A = this chain, B = another copy of it.
Amino acid sequence: RRRPPVREVLFFPSRPSCTEALLAEAAGLRTTARPCPCPLPRVDSSLSRLLRHLLSARRSLEICLFAFSSPQLGRAVQLLHRRGVRVRIVTDAQYMGLPGSQIGLLRHAGIQVRHDQEDGYMHHKFAVVDRRMLITGSLNWTTQAIQNNRENVLVVEDAEYVKPFLDEFERIWEEYNPINYRFF
């Protein structure tokens, strides 16, 4: 490995910032021609850093989230899927159908999603990029949490932390296989 492992802590609420240029660039669009007209500053923020880490995915992205309703993060995930990254999402059954949830859009885009069928919550909030970088913390991927809550996110490449989360993801992914779903 050429560079030292990422070890970053992000706190929220995120400083308000425009992330359009970041998303357009990742989509391969030229952004200088038609800059976003919104009044938000184009500065580094916890949200833009989180987006950048996600958008660094080249091969795989595992996502395990209680709540996912942020349009920016949803667009980033769709973009990775279109770019050929293998995206898999595990989420909570009670939350996924609520208004504003991104889960329907992501499924519609062809991304694999599995959910629990349990009384308890699937309350994890983590993602693993290229089986190498763990993104985890208190933050659900919702606009409310990003803009208004006190939240933390760790971005970690130490294998001692990444490996157990990958194993947990595979365990839950198999357990939530649709062949195990019960229909009432």
Q: A residues touching B (Cβ–Cβ < 8 Å)?
A: 7, 9, 11, 13, 66, 116, 118-126, 136-139, 144-145, 147-152, 154, 156, 158, 160-161, 164-165, 168, 172
Contacts and interface: CB of A to CB of B under 8 A. Distances in A.
Contact of A120 (B7, B125, B144, B172): B144
Contact of A123 (B150, B168, B172): B150
A150 B122 contact: yes
How many protomers of this protein does the assembly include? 2
Contact of A125 (B138, B161, B168, B172): B138
Contact of A160 (B7, B119, B137, B151): B7
Given A118-B148, A120-B148, 8 more contacts: A7-B160, A11-B168, A119-B148, A121-B148, A123-B139, A124-B152, A136-B137, A150-B172
Contacts of A116: 150
Dominant secondary structure at the A interface: mixed
B154 A154 contact: yes
A158 B6 CA distance: 13
A121 B12 CA distance: 11
A144 to B, nearest CB: 7
Contacts of A156: 161
A123 B149 contact: yes
10 contacts: A7-B160, A7-B161, A123-B145, A124-B138, A124-B152, A136-B138, A137-B138, A152-B168, A156-B161, A158-B158
B151 A123 contact: yes
A136 B147 CA distance: 21
Contacts of A148: 118-121
B121 A150 contact: yes
A165 B9 contact: yes
